[in-house]
């Protein structure tokens, strides 16, 4: 258990430098592994998810060499794969999904499984599409051999055997943009290429735009409709390695922008340029502006100045799902009722980020209502502020980090299983110390 107590007696005024985006990093690692030539990636984050990806791709024969926060990568040697390969995706949902189509490129059977929690997360639509493209996917826990004969709740662990050769597939688009990104990243290796048509508007469009942009950086030609409902990648194409400087992670930045908002203080992030970002979460500051914050960029960095009093907002966060919990922690201190909508996919993340977030924030004595796709927070009347408050993290890194922000306003708080932040931001608590939070 970690106890947090805010020590500053003067307004917050801090300058910080953040690690690179794990969303970019997860995709860059897959694309570098598929490339014919080497890649050099700068400002790479080092966290559990990234190390899981590197370990899994290394088992396939890709090579990686660190030098501080620079990573040199070379691609998979498909003609020299080891036998009896078993890939461990640990807690990483993104790696689990991104690597599956890559595994299906091989005619060799490869096993993949994750942590007990990862092995409960939805995967069936991606399995179904891969089988339609020619893969054989066999559950390691169910007896039926065909995905079509199994429950739609089928999950890891599975055995994957290709090769997939390409074709046309229909997907819903409403479940997870990661399924679509996963297929797009490996599609140019397919002899017949790939056409993906979505039956509904896709969730998290900025992440699909990020994937397309990165594919083009690796010299892969992609055609996408303006509404991102149809994608065409001709095959086969050769992936060419890149030199790539990763932007600071917008989701990580959200915690420190929120810190300024909560304390009526000032934060400067020295290496954050959200106007260049491909990630939806980079627009989080626009929500803070609606709540009364001032935002500006200059030669020093990206600044946020919090207001004396925060104002509640109504906001659709479909395109920035990973900062919903950050906003929720800000909203408890805002006057009025904040409604965060269009977030149904959060029920299927590391935790149920709708219900579990509400459960924890209710410990502050405020009213929070939930629906299947929304959080409604009646803020400004926090009644619980003694050091007896203990928050649970539900094995969810973003739950831990967002709840940690509460310490900036309350007398003291305690957080169970605080080390879960290692999944995406291992040094998070040290960064909070830079803000004046005492840890014990």
- Residues marked as catalytic: 322
User: Under a CB-based contact definition with an 8 Å cutoff, are residues 320 and 293 in contact?
Assistant: no
Q: What 8-state DSSP symbol labels residue 148?
A: G
Secondary structure (DSSP) of 69-132? TEEEEE---GGGPPSS-EEEEET-HHHHHHHHHHHTTSSS-EEEEE-TTGGGS--HHHHHHHHH
Instruction: Please state the φ and ψ torsions of residue 103, each to the nearest 5 degrees.
Output: -65, -35
Measured in residues, the chain has a length of 440
Whole-angstrom Cα distance, residue 315 to residue 329? Answer: 15
Whole-angstrom Cα distance, residue 30 to residue 62? Answer: 10
**Two structure tokens written together for 97:** 């999904």
Three-class secondary structure of residue 287 per DSSP? helix
**Two structure tokens written together for 177:** 């943009």
Name the nearest CA neighbour of 252 among 47, 7, 5, 27: 47
User: Under a CB-based contact definition with an 8 Å cutoff, are residues 262 and 409 in contact?
Assistant: yes
């Amino acid at each position: 258990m970690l106890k947090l107590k805010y020590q500053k007696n003067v307004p917050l005024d801090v300058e910080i430098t953040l690690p690179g985006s794990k969303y970019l990093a997860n995709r860059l690692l897959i694309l570098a592994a598929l490339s014919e030539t080497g890649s050099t990636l700068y400002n790479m984050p080092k966290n559990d998810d990234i190390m899981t990806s590197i370990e899994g791709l290394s088992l396939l024969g890709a090579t990686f060499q660190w030098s501080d926060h620079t990573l040199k990568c070379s691609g998979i040697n498909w003609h020299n794969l080891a036998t009896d390969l078993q890939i461990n995706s640990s807690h990483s949902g993104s790696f689990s999904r991104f690597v599956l189509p890559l595994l299906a490129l091989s005619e060799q059977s490869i096993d993949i499984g994750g942590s007990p929690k990862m092995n409960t997360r939805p995967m069936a639509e991606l399995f179904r599409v891969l089988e339609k493209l020619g893969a054989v996917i066999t559950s390691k826990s169910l007896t039926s051999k065909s995905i079509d004969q199994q429950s739609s709740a089928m999950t890891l662990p599975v055995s994957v055997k290709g090769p997939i050769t390409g074709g046309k597939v229909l997907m819903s688009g409403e479940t997870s943009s990661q399924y679509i990104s996963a297929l797009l990243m490996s599609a140019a290796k397919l002899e017949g290429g790939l056409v993906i048509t979505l039956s509904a508007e896709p969730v998290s469009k900025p992440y699909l735009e990020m994937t397309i942009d990165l594919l083009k950086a690796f010299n892969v030609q992609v055609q996408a409709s303006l509404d991102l409902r149809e994608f065409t990648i001709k095959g086969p194409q050769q992936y060419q390695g890149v030199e790539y400087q990763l932007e600071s992670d917008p989701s990580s930045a959200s915690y420190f922008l929120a810190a300024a908002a909560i304390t009526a203080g000032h934060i400067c992030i020295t290496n954050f340029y959200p106007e260049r970002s491909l990630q939806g979460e980079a627009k989080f500051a626009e929500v803070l502006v609606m709540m009364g914050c001032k935002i500006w960029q200059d030669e020093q960095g990206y600044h946020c100045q919090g207001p004396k009093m925060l104002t509640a907002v109504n906001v659709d966060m479909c395109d920035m799902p990973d900062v919903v919990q950050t906003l929720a922690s800000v909203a408890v201190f805002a006057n009025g009722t904040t409604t965060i909508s269009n977030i149904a996919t959060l029920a299927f993340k590391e935790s149920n980020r709708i219900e579990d977030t509400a459960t924890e924030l209710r410990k502050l004595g405020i009213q929070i209502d939930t629906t299947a796709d929304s959080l409604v927070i009646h803020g400004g009347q926090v009644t619980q502020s003694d050091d007896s408050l203990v928050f649970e993290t539900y094995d969810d890194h973003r739950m831990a980090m967002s709840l940690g922000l509460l310490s900036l306003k309350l007398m003291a708080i305690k957080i169970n299983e605080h080390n879960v932040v290692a999944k995406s931001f291992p040094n998070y608590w040290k960064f909070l110390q830079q803000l004046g939070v005492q840890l014990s």
